[in-house]
Amino acid sequence: MRVSLPMLSLLFAASCATEPTDAAPTVRLTHLRGPLWIAEDTFFAPENSMVYVGERDVTVIGATWTPHTAQLLHERIAEITPLPVRQVLLTNYHQDRSGGTAYWRRIGAAVLATRRTEKLLELHWDRLIRDIRTTFPDYPVLPLVHASQSIAEDTHLQDGGIRTLYLGPSHTEDGLFVYFPAQRVLYGGCILKEQIGNLDSANVKEYPRTLRRLVALGLPFDCIVSGHWTPVHGPELIDTYLQLLASREDATGAESGRSTPAR
């Protein structure tokens, strides 16, 4: 494959955001608070998912990139608890949140998605696989594996310990926030991060409105876990991202370059 200079710089930017370039990709778990752990999956464009170790079983927030990264995460979970993984929640239809679905279903976990996410998976899966392989040629050609259970957009899991929130289009049309009320933590997934990221599937008009709806809810979280780059932030990450969206609009008025693929 011929690799152009711009593509080389894309690959470099993607691979060095959270890891030294010579480090082999890994999946690692770091404890956050109470039942909450952060899973850092440094394959492809590094992503952060979450793990909730409940009293009876484990819920994984985000299926991770591929069946292989899902298996690695499962191995890390087995090191911290003997409890089984029973539920895996897809927070949007992109492969960094849904690519590991086949593995989780194979081990008998329920893979949960909203109808909106299921519909987008069906519409865009094959195209997204082609797109991602132009940036990451070693990303596997995975067939679409559907979620096993439809959920409402405001679902409660783990006896209310986990709440999903859909507040409108943002980075994708279907992106969910996940709120952990007892720990005062919000998982922002692909929606909230320290860089603008990939807006290829974004609804840039609705994105700030969705973030303002989140602020208007007044949820008392004091920690936001981001789906890309540095995982742990304070609530100011919402303002940071609103400013990134606003300055992008000021600078271009239209489309920006694709500076950070697949995030």
Site residues (CB under 5 A) for Zn ion?
96, 190, 263
Q: Minimum CB separation from Zn ion for residue 261, in Å?
A: 10
CB of 79 to Zn ion, least distance (A): 26
Residue nearest to Zn ion (CB): 190
Q: Choose between 41 and 96: whose C-beta lies nearer to Zn ion.
A: 96
| CB closer to Zn ion, 14 vs 53 | 14
Nearer to Zn ion, 200 or 206 (CB): 200
Long-range contacts of range 202-207, CB-CB < 8 Å, 24 or more positions apart?
202/169, 202/170, 202/171, 202/172, 203/169, 203/170, 203/172, 203/173, 204/245, 204/248, 204/249, 206/168, 206/169, 206/170, 207/169, 207/170, 207/171, 207/245
Least distance (Å) between residue 47 CB and Zn ion: 6
In the complex, minimum distance from the CB of residue 51 to Zn ion, in angstroms, rounded to a whole number: 17
DSSP, collapsed to helix, strand or coil, labels residue 164 as: strand
Report the DSSP beta bridge partners of residue 189. Answer: 226
Q: Which is nearer to Zn ion, 86 or 263 (CB)?
A: 263
Task: List all residues 6 or more positions away from 155 whose beta carbon is below 8 Å from its beta carbon.
Answer: 112, 163, 164
